Structure 1
Amino acid sequence: MKKIYVLHENNEWTVHLQNRLEELNLPYELWHLDEGMLDLSSEPPQGVFYNRLSASSHTRDHRFAPEYGEAVLAWLERHGRLVINGSRALRLEVSKVNQYMALNLADISTPKTLAAVGKQNIMDAAKALNMPSFITKHNRAGKGQGVHLFHSIESLQNYLDSSDFDAPVDGITLVQQYIEAPEPYIIRHEFIGGKFLYGVKVNTSEGFELCPADACSIEDMFCPTDGPSNDNAAGKGAKFEILQDYHPAFIDKYEAFLAANNVQVAGIEAIQDEQGTSYAYDVNTNTNYNSDAEAVAQTFGMLELAKFLQAKLDTLN
């Protein structure tokens, strides 16, 4: 029997999709790819293969999940299996440099960014950027990992010299233009089947870790999730809010970017500056949804994703 196969490395991020697949009574199987063995001379089973591997896998002691996952995806694609978010999507997931180059090719603005390996080159990159405020981030990250805001070269030097310096897993640190938004929020644009589903406004007043998944509260107490997502009593409003009647003109470019890179499921995060220019700065091909925000809007990303996978499975039967 043909099935939906979910390729992943994090049970907490997969359980919500699993629940929706069961709700629709769909045949499925989970492939947890933190480690394993693959016979390259064998043939994969028939079915739909959905890749949910994450750039932040190394923070869960799954250091080589993307590398092993890429081997599995190469095997599936070699045999012509129907893969959702295949090897190209995974390459974008684990490299912001790849993301920015692909976004720019699609005529989508990104913040000015320099890539550096080595502490001295990080300093040189900040000097070359020559901006009063800038941020550093990891090339391969997730949940805002490695993001720090600096207002001077001296403060960056102090960070690099301290025990707080967090070396990126792939060695590449990005030194990036700081986009100062007139209000403290970004918008994450969710896509299923390559088509825009909704935009979610994310309050950034508490920092850069913007993971919307319910499970982030389990893994990282500083990741804003369901726990503190509704803070109306404190006058702060919801951390995550799905926007109504939101469909900016640049969505067409985002959809074209996804199509050009064979990405079917994604969340694209963007920030707007004081002049109204929007910059895309992160592409999440392992996208998650906040249940509190969805309950208010009565729009459910994992349900729509399960229906999308069902439609793909039906094409094979």
Structure 2
Amino acid sequence: MSGKVYVIHENPQWIPPFAAAFEAEGVPFEEWLLTDGSIDLAVEPPDGVFWSRLSASAHTRDHAHSKEFGRAVLRWLASWGRTVINGADVLELEVSKVAQHAALRHAGIEVPRTVAVFGTDDLAAAAERFGAPFISKHNQGGKGLGVRRWDSIDDFTAWVAGPDFEHSPDGITLLQELLVARTPFITRAEFVAGEFVYAVRVDTSAGSFELCPAEACAIPDADGVEPEPMFRLRDDVDPTLIDRYLAFLAAEGVGIAGIEFIETLDGRTVTYDVNTNTNYNPDVEASAPRSGPREIARWLGTLLPREVVGVRG
């Protein structure tokens, strides 16, 4: 087989760090921007390795159908025996926090108490049964968008009935326990090819739920100045937790991911999110012993025939 690495995605803003990594590793690649187009199901796909970077937040960029396009393309690729990294089953994890929660719980990893509410008719009553304080979030989310804290059932009920209510893209709203960190940060552990790359400490002292690490997600302050970095390397994560994450990712067929957890005031370590289209923070990358994008490019390059790849530096 000859070919290249095909990067399947819908957001060009997230690609430059990976393009630079492929270039540095001498790995040929091509972008498949999955916002329109077509596939002939009777025609064999090109030779190569296919990496899905489809995102649960695609709808926030007016690409709501990219999830469905991805379902079609990834099944088509698999039917022809192509090597697909983070394929169709992994896409289902990416776009459903219910699926993530179920898979993590099944693996014996502690997850937050969560109720999934279908539609809106039962939301107020479900919140009453759940009890405040809690957070609400979309089942298909991303970047922390749609996450709100509620300390009052009455306030939540008024919001649900009012004009500012935010519908989840798939109609499923999650009610989840409010996790209070022992120290105001969460941790994101990064994995590539069955190996732990590094962990990132993410400062949450400002109270935001929008914790996307990519440079493209950075929000300038009121003066137009970039905020101080929220992200820094962390080197004291429990290795037994890392081993459990590695086993979980292997069981679910996930080749590349970031997993987020919080260490709570009451002494728990709770895992709440699996990012299968993980991005990397440039400040962390500058000081990390290994680069996430370079590890990805290097690994995907090894899956191509050696005559296709001219490894550099």
Shorter-normalised TM range? over 0.9
Match of 2:97 in 1: 96
Corresponding position: 1:204 with 2:195: no
2:191 maps to 191
Matched, 1:158 2:161: no
1:229/1:292 contact within 8 Å kept: no
SS at match of 1:67: helix
After superposition, the C-alpha distances for 1:182-234 in whole angstroms (9 at most, x for unaligned) are 221110111101221111010112210010011113xx668xxx93243xxxx
TM-score (norm 2): 0.92
Kept in 2, the 8 Å contact 1:229–1:240? The answer is: no
| Structure 2 CA distance for aligned equivalents of residues 6 and 229 of structure 1 | 31
Q: Say whether 1:56 aligns with 2:57.
A: yes
| Matches of 1:108 and 1:127, distance apart in 2 | 27
Q: 2: CA distance between counterparts of 1:69 and 1:14?
A: 17
CA contact 1:135–1:149 (8 Å) conserved in 2? yes
Matched, 1:311 2:302: yes
The residue aligned with 2:68 is 67
Q: What residue is the counterpart of 2:135 in the other structure?
A: 135
Structure 2, unpaired ranges of 5+ = 309-313
Runs of 4+ displaced beyond 4 Å: none
1:148-167, Cα deviation, whole Å (9 max, x unpaired): 00112012112213322111
Aligned length: 303
Stretch of structure 1 that moved more, 268-277 or 68-77: 268-277
5 Å-filtered alignment, 1:1-317, equals 1-130=2-131, 132-206=132-206, 207-217=208-218, 227-230=226-229, 239-314=230-305
Give % identity: 47
Give the gaps of 5 or more residues in structure 1. Answer: 231-238
SS of the residue aligned with 2:239?
coil
TM score, norm. by length of structure 1 = 0.91
Q: In 1, distance between residues paired with 2:23 and 2:265?
A: 45
For 2:62 and 2:187, the matched residues in 1 are separated by: 30
The more displaced of 160-169 and 89-98 is 160-169
Query: In 1, Cα distance between the equivalents of 2:307 and 2:141?
Result: 35
